Amino acid sequence: MLSSNRQMALWLMATSLPACALAEDPIRTYDRVEFSVVASSSVATDTVVAYLSRQMEGENAETIADQVNKAVTQSVKQIKQIPDIKVETADYQTTPLYQDDRLVGWRVRQSIRLESSNLPKLSGLLGDLQQNLNLDGINYGVTPESMKRAEDALIEQALASYQQRAERVTHGLGRARYRIVALQITNNAMPVHPGMMAARPMAMAEGPTVEPSERKVQINVTGTIEMLTE
C-alpha cells in the first residue's frame, strides 16, 4: 500500500500536467471552401387589403359616435353578404378638439379592414362603400400558398446551382470529390412595384382600379464544402 506522502506526490504530478496534454487534439480540416448562390423570380400579387374609415366631428361626442357606429355597422353588414371578402373592424378613436385651450368639440373615427383575392369583386365593392366611408389605402400581397410554391421552386433551383458550382470548384482545384459540411438557406421577398395606393376622396362613382403588382422572391444558399482527394 502506498504511503500517504507517495499518494500526495502522485496527485501533485497529475494535477500539474499541462492542459494541452489532457485535452483532445482539435479536429483539423483542409481544403474547405465557402460560397453562395442566389435564385430569384417575380411573383404576381394575388391578394388585396383595403382600409376604409368613417370620421365625423361635432360638439356632442355621443351623437357623432352614434352616427359613425351606424355607418360602419351598415357597411360591415353589406360586406358580409359578399363571399370571398373578409372584413374586420380596426381602430376606434375619440379625440377632443380644442381652440384657444377651450374644448370646442370631438372627432370620432373608426376603421375597417377588407381582404380578398377576388380583385374585380373587391374593386366594385369599394366603389359602393365610399358612399359612406373614406378609402384610406390599398396594400397588395401574396398569399402564403402562392409564396410557398414560388419559394419551393427557387430552393430546388438554388440547390442545383450550388451543386454545379461545388463540382466546378472541386474539379478546378484537382480534387476527386467533395462533401457539404454546412448549408444555410434564406429567403427574401420585396415589392417590385409600389404596393400601396394613396387615399381617395369619398363618394367615388366607380371603384378604384385594383390591379396585381409583383414581388421579387429571392433564395440565398450559402454553404461550405470540403474537397477530398479520393
User: Closest Cα partner for 135 from 47, 49, 50?
Assistant: 50
User: Closest Cα partner for 166 from 87, 99, 228?
Assistant: 228
Residues 6+ apart with CB under 8 A from 94: 61, 65, 106, 107, 108
Q: What is the pLDDT of residues 68-122, one digit of tens each?
A: 999 999 999 999 999 899 999 988 999 999 999 899 999 999 999 999 998 888 9
Q: What is the pLDDT of residues 58-67, one digit of tens each?
A: 999 999 999 9
Q: In this structure, what is the dihedral angle of CA atoms 126, 130, 132, 138, given to the nearest 10 degrees? A: 70
Which residues, listed in sequence order, are joined to residue 191 by a DSSP beta bridge? Answer: 215
Asked if pLDDT for residue 198 goes beyond 70, the answer is no
Asked if pLDDT for residue 146 goes beyond 50, the answer is yes
pLDDT of residue 208: 65
